[in-house]
Homo-oligomer: A and B are copies of this chain.
């Protein structure tokens, strides 16, 4: 898929700009399916023997406060996870490695619908400013699965971390072409100019057929520093709302519909069920993790598959993801309505109880 081309190009941009080769990625990350991206995708390459792993790739812990190294009971998980990145940078430098880039999805998707603790990327960015940028490295935000308003409150998921965090390179794809293979790489002028002056043209072919059904892909590119204004203000509100309470008026007088906010867990799935559940998400990006035991967090992988199979009988298609394939993955398209959400919650409730 063409989002792989976007992430591959982002790595090339970073390496041309810095002249360095090493890349820091997150555990369980998935960034694409071509060779260079499998190298930085533990989600894929954890099945490979160590000998086949790329020695220039460093894996930092996934900032997952439910199942990760530092959890919700940690006094400052954001700092603890960010410090792990700092330590990797330091160790790489000691061994003579030079960091070209830190790359992460703003919210991990295939890695288990993980929402990093507030402040994580800000602190990583601070370390990057001190360490990676001291050596010329860049920060790449992969917004292929989570960008374009999916998180509801912001157009880009990286904005959830605060206005003071701005990546050097942002990659985008999937929703961009409305089903057509369309992707994009946005970079700071410095990074783009370094690539332009390297002498190697960037060549790609554009579909010569009729314009995509959507008319998308024909408008000028956006910049992460200047996010576009969504033409219909209702769209973002459509994604930012409280499930189970749709129809009420929000603070701005808007009618709330569907989607997840941090303070409003999906009520319909709160009833008791054999498997415990962790729910994380923002807007139309939600993960529900099934475990056999709240203490050991033993993944309820088979149960998750059973839920999926039974939902399929109810004509609802869902998938499980994450390293243990026990996280029910909710990533509906923009046309998803409050009625669709009601139906999904009702059927999941039925299956779980």
A205 on the B face (CB < 8 A): yes
Q: Is the CB–CB distance between A205 and B36 below 8 Å?
A: no
Q: How many copies of the shown chain assemble into the complex? A: 2
Asked if A339 lies at the interface with its beta carbon under 8 angstroms from chain B, I say: no
The secondary-structure label for the interface of chain A is loop
Q: What is A's interface to B at a CB cutoff of 8 Å?
A: 1-2, 4-5, 8, 11-12, 33-36, 38, 44-45, 47-48, 178-181, 198-200, 202-205, 207-210, 212-213
Q: Which of B36, B210, B212 contacts A34 (CB 8 A)?
A: B36
Question: CA–CA, A36 to B35, complex, Å?
Answer: 6
Could you list 25 examples of A-B contacts with CB < 8 Å?
A: A1-B204, A1-B205, A2-B2, A2-B181, A5-B34, A11-B35, A12-B35, A12-B38, A33-B202, A33-B204, A34-B35, A35-B35, A35-B36, A38-B200, A45-B200, A47-B198, A48-B200, A178-B209, A179-B207, A179-B208, A180-B207, A180-B209, A181-B181, A181-B207, A209-B212
In the assembled complex, the Cα of A62 lies from the Cα of B5 at a distance in Å of 28
Given the known inter-chain contacts A33-B202, A207-B179, A207-B180, please indicate yes or no for A4 contacting B1, CB distance below 8 A.
no
CA distance A48 to B179 in the complex (A): 36
In the assembled complex, the CB of A144 is this many whole angstroms from the nearest CB of chain B, namely 11
* In contact, B209 and A179 (Cβ under 8 angstroms): yes
- Complex: A36 Cα to B4 Cα, angstroms: 12
Contact A44 B200 (CB under 8 A): yes
Given contacts A47-B200, A200-B47, A34 and B208 within 8 Å (CB-CB): no
Residue of B nearest to A174 (CB): B205
Q: Once the chains are docked, how many angstroms separate the CA of A24 from the CA of B243? A: 57
Q: Once bound together, how far apart are the Cα atoms of A2 and B180, in whole Å?
A: 13
Q: Enumerate chain B residues within 8 angstroms of A179, measured Cβ to Cβ.
A: 207-209
Residues on B with C-beta less than 8 A from A47 are 198-200
Q: Which residues of B contact A203 (CB under 8 A)?
A: 33
Given the complex of chains A and B, what is the CA–CA distance between A212 and B207 in angstroms? 12
User: A259 to B1, alpha carbons, bound, how many Å?
Assistant: 35
In the complex formed, the residue of B with least CB distance to A30 is B203
Residues of B within 8 A of A34 (CB): 4-5, 8, 34-36
Q: Are B210 and A213 in contact (CB under 8 A)?
A: yes
> A1 to chain B: which residues have CB within 8 Å?
5, 204-205
Interface core residue of A205, A208, A212 (most chain B CB under 10 Å): A205
Which residues from chain B contact A5 at a C-beta distance below 8 Å?
1, 4, 33-34
CB-CB under 8 A from A204, the residues of chain B are 1, 33
Residue of B nearest to A44 (CB): B200
- Contact between A35 and B8 (Cβ–Cβ < 8 Å)? yes
- The distance from the CB of A216 to the nearest CB of chain B, in whole angstroms, is 11
- Residue in chain B with minimal CB distance to A110: B203
Residues of B within 8 A of A202 (CB): 33
Contact of A209 among B2, B44, B45, B213 (CB under 8 A): B213
Residue of B nearest to A205 (CB): B1
Which B residues touch A208, using CB under 8 A? 179
Chain B residue nearest in CB terms to A8: B34
Q: Which residue of B lies closest to A48 (CB)?
A: B200
Closest B residue by C-beta to A16: B52
